[in-house]
Amino acid sequence: MGVETEYGISALPPRTAMTQVEEDLHPMQLSNHVVKAYGSVEGSGGTGGWDYETETPLRDIRGYEIARGNAHPDQLTDSDLGMANMILTNGARLYVDHAHPEYASPEVTSALDVVRFDKAGDTVMAIAAQRASLSLGRSVRLYKNNTDGKGASYGTHENYLLDRATPFDRVVTQFTAFLVSRQVVTGAGRVGIGQNSQQVGFQISQRADFFEAEVGLETTLNRPIINTRDEPHADASKHRRLHVITGDANLSEISTYLKVGTASWVLRVIEAGELGADLRLDAPVAAIRSVSHDVGCSGLLTLADGRRMTAVDLQEVYLGACRRHLDRIGGELDEAAATEAKDVLGRWQDCLDALRTDPTTLADQLDWVAKLKLMESYRSRDGLAWDSPKLALIDLQYADVDPRRSLYGALVAKGLMQRLISAEEVDRARTSPPEDTRAYFRGRVMAKFGDSVVAASWDSVIFDVPDRSALQRIPLLDPLRGTREQVGQMIEECSTVTELFAALGR
C-alpha cells in the first residue's frame, strides 16, 4: 500500500523587481519550480524520467477502456507534459500533477511505514518550498490540504494491492459504507460547507462535498466513492490496485495510521469473503456529505434494507469483522504484522468509544478534532463567527508544511499531538527506501547508479549500460521482489552499473 498527495500551492508577490511573466506564474509552472528545486538537494534522487509504457489510466475494471479522444484531459496521467518528474532515493516519486506538486510514497507493507514515508513527503515538500522561494525571490507556500475553499479540490489518494480473483462487485458493495463512515476517524476538518464554502460552519472532512458518484473512473471531476481505474502497477493476472480517492490529507500521524491500517484490514476481510453483514447504503453520495457535516457523529444513515445506523455504528460493524478475521488468521502473521494489527484494531476501538461519549478527548489524536478545538478556542477568545476570514486562515495555516508557520507543527511542538515516529525516523525515510518491497531496489539504484537510470516506474527501471547497445529494462512486477534481503548485498558490492548487470545476470 501507499499514499500519494497533491499539495496546495501559492506564492506571495516577488520581493524584487521581476518581469510580468515571472510575476504571473501559472500554478503548474510554480509547481515545476518546486519539484526542480528539490532536485538540487544533494542525494535527493535522479533526474531520469518516468516510464509511462505500462500505465493505463483509461482502462476500467468493469471491462472496457475509454478512447483517448473521449477522455477529459485531467484523466491523461500517462504524460508529464514536459513538467519535472523525479524518482527519489527513498523509492518515492516527486512530480507535477495538473497544477500541484505531488509526492507519491514508495510501496510498503505496514501502516506504520505508510506514516513514516508520508511524513518524509511533508519534509521533502518543506525543503522544496524553501529552495524554490530562494530561487524565485518570493515566498512559495505549500499546504497539505484538499481544497482552496473556493470550489477547487485536490487529492490524497491511497493505493492497496488486492488479489485479482476478488470480485470487484464485492469490493463495491462492501467497501463503500466503510469509506463513507470512516471520516469520523480520518477527516482533516474544514471551515466551510459545500464545494464553494457557500454555507458557514465546520465539517469533519475536506473532501466529502466533492463526491458526486458512487462508482466511476474519474478522479478530478464527477468524483466517485469507488474508483475503477485498472492500473495495477504489478502483474495484472494476479493483482488489482484499488485506487482510493476519498481520503483527506492528514497531518496527524494517528489519523494516517488508522486511515490505511483500518482500510487494509477491511479489505483483507472483503477478500476473504468474511464481512458477514449487508452494509449497503441507500444513498452513498448523500451519506458521505451528511457524515462530514455531522460533527456530533450522531446522525443516522439509512441502509438499503431500511435499517438506520450512525457512522460510528457502521465502523463498529467493520471493526468486529476485522477482529474475527484476525482471530482466524493471526497465527499466519509474523510478529511485527500481528503486533501492528492488534494495535490498529485497539486504537480503532478506542476512537469509536470516544466518539460516542466525548469526541473532544481525541484532540491529541485526530486532525478534525484537533482543528475544531483550535477553532473553538479562537472563537471563544475573539468572538468569531464561522464566516470569519480569520478562521479560514487558521484552517489553511494548520496545513502549512513549513514547520515555522504550521499550526499543526505548533501543536506537536507543545506536546499536544501524539506521535508514532521520531523526527530522526522521518529524516531517514526521506533518503532511504523501505527494505521489504521492490521500492528498495528502485531507491538504492537511484542513490548509487542514478546517472545511469534513464527512466523508472513502479514496476520497472530502465538503465543505460555502457557495454550494451540498447537500453536495459529491469521489470519489477512483483512488489515483494527487489528487497534488501534479496538484492542489498549485491547492490553494495557493485561499483558500476556494468557490474550490477553482470551480477543480475548471474
- Catalytic residues, by residue number, are 97
Report residue 28 CA to chain centroid gap.
20
Q: Pairing state of beta strands 140-143 and 308-310?
A: unpaired
Alpha-carbon dihedral sign for residues 408, 412, 414, 417 = positive
Buried b / exposed e over 485-500, threshold 16 CB at 10 Å, is eebeeebeebeebbeb
Side chain identity, residue 100: H
Q: What span, in angstroms and rounded, lies between the C-alpha atoms of 469 and 493?
A: 25
Max CA distance (Å), the chain: 72
DSSP state of 402: S
Report residue 434 CA to chain centroid gap.
16
Numbers of helices and strands, H then E, in the chain: 16, 21
Pinpoint the alpha helices (H) of 358-406.
367-382, 389-398
Question: Around Cβ 5, how many Cβ atoms within 10 Å?
Answer: 25
DSSP state of 331: G
Cross-strand bridge partners of residue 229: 60
Grid cell of 492 as nine digits: 553494495
CB 40 within 8 A of CB 124: no
CB 89 within 8 A of CB 443: yes
Grid cell of 13 as nine digits: 508577490
Q: What span, in angstroms and rounded, lies between the C-alpha atoms of 90 and 439?
A: 7
Grid cell of 311 as nine digits: 457512522
Grid cell of 18 as nine digits: 521581476
Q: What span, in angstroms and rounded, lies between the C-alpha atoms of 292 and 506?
A: 56
Residue recorded with cell 495484472: 236
Q: What span, in angstroms and rounded, lies between the C-alpha atoms of 213 and 125?
A: 32
